[in-house]
Chains A and B, each alone.
Chain A
Amino acid sequence: MNESLLDVDGLSLGFSGEAGFAHILDGVTLRMKPGEIRGLVGESGCGKTTLASAILGVLPRHALKIRGGTIRFDGTDMLSRTATADQARVRGRKVTFIPQDPFTSFNPVFTIGQQVDELMKWKSPERENAGVPRHPLFTRYPRARRRRDRERILSTLASVQLPQPEQILKKYPHEVSGGQRQRLMIAMALLPEPDLIIADEPTTALDVTIQAQILGLLRKLATERGAAVLLTTHDLGSAYEICDSVTVMYAGQDVEAAPVDAFFNAPAHPYTGKLLASRPEGAGGMTGIPGEVPSFYDPPPGCRFAPRCPRATADCKRRPDPSHPGEGHMVRCYHPIDAGSAAEAAEIVGAER
C-alpha cells in the first residue's frame, strides 16, 4: 500500500505523573520515504523530541502510556512490547541517532575508540543478524571483522572531516571539542549504514559558527549514502537549508506537512503562517504569537492551536482530518490559508499589529 520507510500513524501517548496525565502526543501522523530529509519543526515543548524518542524506544517506560496509533519501520512494529528482538535489530543498525547534546552523550569513562568499537561490534553493516546475543558480556568481536570495521571507522571519521582519526580514537570524550564530538556522533550514526538517521536538534548545543557546517555535512553524507534523515529543530533557517520537506508540530499535534518550497512560500495552516511571520526576517519584522502554548494536562479539544488562532470557529473543537492543498502537502485545518491570496497572507502576518 505504501513504500514508506517510517510510518507513524495516529500516535497518541502521554505520561502519568503527580500532576496528572500529560497528553503529549495527540494523533501524530508522519510518513517518511527512503532517502528523504525531513525537518520536524515546532517550538520547544511541542513534542518533537518525544516523537523522536518514541521511534527510538527511549521513552521512560514506567510513566509512559500509549493511547493509540502505531510506529512501523520497514515492517517492524516499533511500539510492540513483544517484538523487542526485532526492534533490537533495527535500533542502531537500520535507525541510528544523533543526540542533541554531544557533550554528555559520550560515556565519560571510556575512550572514544572503545565506544565506536562497541557500536561496530554489535551494529557493523557486516553483521548479518544485528540482534542481541544471549550473553552480550561474553561475546567476542571476531578479529577479521574487527579489522575491516576499523577501516570503515577510519574512513568515516575522515569523511566527517576529523583530522588525525587514529589519535582521536585514543582520546577520552572530554579531551575533544564540542564540534569534534558532534562530528563523531554523525560518524557513529553513519557507520552502521542505516536507512534512517534521527537527529534531535543536533546543533543547538554548538557554536553558531559551526552549526551550518555540521548540518551541511550531515545532509551531504546522508544523501551520498542514501540514508533518510529526520531532523528535529526549532530553527526554521536550518530546516530551509537542508530539508526536502517539513512537518510542523504544535502542542503535540502535527498540523502541516509540506515540501520545503510549499512550506515557506505557501503555508496553509494558520500556525505555520504565524511561525514563519515570527522570524526576524519575516514580512512584519519580529512578531510574536499572542497567547500561550496550552497545558498538556488539560489540552483544548480538537485543534490545540484554536485558542490562539484568529480563524478559529466552533468547528475547531473537533480535530480536523488531513486535507491536501498540493502535491505532498498535508494540512489539518478547517480554515486553511489560501495560498493564492496575498490578502490572506497579509492578514495572517498583520493580525497582531
Chain B
Amino acid sequence: MRRVELVLSRLVWFVPTLLGLIIVVFLISNVVPTDPARIVAGENATQAQIDALREQMGLNEPLIVQFGIYLRDLVTGDMGRSLYTQREISSDLLHRLPATLELTFAAMILAIGLGVPLGVISAIRRNSLTDQILRLLSISGLAVASFWLAMELQMYFSTRLGWTPLNGRISGFGPENITGFVVIDSILQGDWASLKSALSHLILPAITLSLPAAATLVRFTRAGVLEVVNSNFVLYETAMGFPRSLIVWKYVLRNALISTVTQIGLVFGTLFAGAVVVEAVFDWPGLGTYAVQSILQSDTKAILGFSILVGVVFIVINLLVDIVHTFIDPRVLK
C-alpha cells in the first residue's frame, strides 16, 4: 500500500537525520570553553587532581574517539551521568519527558483550537474589522516575549485573583504514575481532585506557550483559506447551492489545512524551544527546567542528551504529520 511505502521511506531518513543531529550537537558542546573535569573536581581541587579526572573521564582522547565512545554508549541508551544530579542522564530525561510533552501537547491543542478557526474567520471576513483585529492580535502574539507574558499571567490570575496556582505541576501527591502524564493518570484512576489540580496548574503555562503557535497557525490558515476560496470547486459548490457554512468549514478548510498541518510539525519545534523558558518561569518539572539547570551548571553531557531527545521528538512528530498529511490530501499518495 502506498501509505505504508511512504512511511517506510520517511523512516529510512530517520537514521541519517538523527546522526547528523548528534554530530552537530556533539561538536557544539565540545566547542564551548568549559572543562567538565574542573566542575566535577570542585573549586578547591589541585591541578593534579583535575588532570587525573580528565584522564579518567576520557577527555584527553581525540574528539573523534570521544564521539565514537559517546555514540557506542548512546546506542545502548547510555547518555552518561549528570554532573549535577549524579544520576543517569537518560533516566533523568525520560522521567521529565512526560511533563514537557503534557505541556506542549496542551499548548498545541490550544493553538490548533484557537488558531485554525480564527484563521478561517479572518479569511472569510477578509479586510473586515474582525480580520484587522485578528491580524493585529496574531502579530502581537508572535512578538510578545513569553517570559513577560508568563509573569503577567501569574501576577494577574495567581497573585491577584488567586484562581490558579503560581507554579508547579500538581498539588499534593498526585495520581499514581502510569503514563507520567498527570492529566491522563488522574482520568484513568478517576481521581478528579488531582485532575482539577493538574489542569489548574497546566492552564497558564499552556496558554503562555500556545500564543505564538496559535498566531502562526492563524496566519497560515488564513493564507490557506484565501488561496482555496477562489478555486473553481468552491465556485461549483456555490453554484450548486451547497450550504455556505458547509463549503467553508468542510470543503475549503480541508484543503486549506494541507499547508497548516505541515506547519504544525514545525510549530512543535518552536513549542519545545519555548517550553524551556515557560517551564523556568512556572517551575514546571519538565525537560526545560532540566535544560536550564544543566546549562547553568555547564553540564555538557546533560545538555547534549536533552538536545538529542528534543531532536528525536521533533523528528517523530514530523513523521506523524507526514502520516496525517496522507489522510488529508490523497494526492500525495499518487
Contact = CB atoms under 8 A, between A and B. Distances in A.
Given A96-B240, A106-B236, A172-B331, 12 more contacts: A56-B238, A56-B239, A58-B235, A92-B239, A99-B232, A105-B232, A108-B329, A123-B240, A132-B241, A136-B245, A137-B246, A174-B331
A101 B232 contact: yes
A107 B237 contact: yes
Q: How large is the interface on A (under 10, 10 to 19, 20 to 34, 35 or more residues)?
A: 20 to 34
B241 A130 contact: yes
A58 B236 CA distance: 9
Interface in A87-109: 88-93, 96-97, 99, 101, 104-109
Nearest to B254: A109
* B232, B241, B331 pick with most chain A CB within 10 angstroms: B241
Contacts of B244: 132
B50 interface: no
B76 to A, nearest CB: 44
B242 interface: yes
B243 A132 contact: yes
Contact of B242 (A99, A104, A122): A122
26 contacts: A53-B239, A57-B238, A58-B238, A88-B241, A90-B241, A91-B240, A91-B241, A92-B242, A96-B240, A97-B239, A104-B231, A104-B233, A105-B233, A105-B236, A107-B251, A118-B242, A118-B246, A119-B242, A122-B241, A123-B240, A123-B241, A132-B241, A132-B243, A136-B243, A137-B250, A188-B240
Interface of B: 231-233, 235-246, 249-251, 254-255, 258, 328-331, 334
A110 B251 contact: yes
Nearest to B252: A107
Contact of B255 (A88, A107, A188): A107
Given A136-B243, A136-B245, A136-B246, A109 B330 contact: yes
A93 B329 CA distance: 30
Contact of B254 (A53, A88, A104, A110): A110
A119 B243 CA distance: 10
A121 to B, nearest CB: 9
Contacts of B239: 53, 56-58, 91-92, 97, 99, 198
A108 B255 contact: yes
Closest 7 CB pairs of A and B: A92-B241, A91-B241, A136-B243, A92-B240, A104-B232, A56-B239, A97-B239
Contacts of A122: 241-243
A38 to B, nearest CB: 18
A109 B329 contact: yes
A56 to B, nearest CB: 4
Interface string A69-93: 0000000000000000000111111
A188 B241 CA distance: 13
Interface in A106-131: 106-110, 118-119, 122-123, 130
A58 B334 CA distance: 32
Contacts of A174: 330-331, 334
A251 B50 CA distance: 92
B152 to A, nearest CB: 37
B19 to A, nearest CB: 36
A99 B249 contact: no
Contacts of B331: 108-109, 172, 174
Nearest to A89: B241
A90 B244 CA distance: 15
A152 to B, nearest CB: 16
Contacts of A53: 239
A97 B237 CA distance: 10
Contact of A109 (B232, B237, B258): B258
A91 to B, nearest CB: 3
Most buried by B among A130, A132, A198: A132
B246 A119 contact: no
A56 B241 CA distance: 9
A88 B249 CA distance: 18
Interface string A125-153: 00000101100110000000000000000
Interface string A36-63: 0000000000000000010011100000
A56 B240 CA distance: 8
Contacts of B232: 99, 101, 104-105
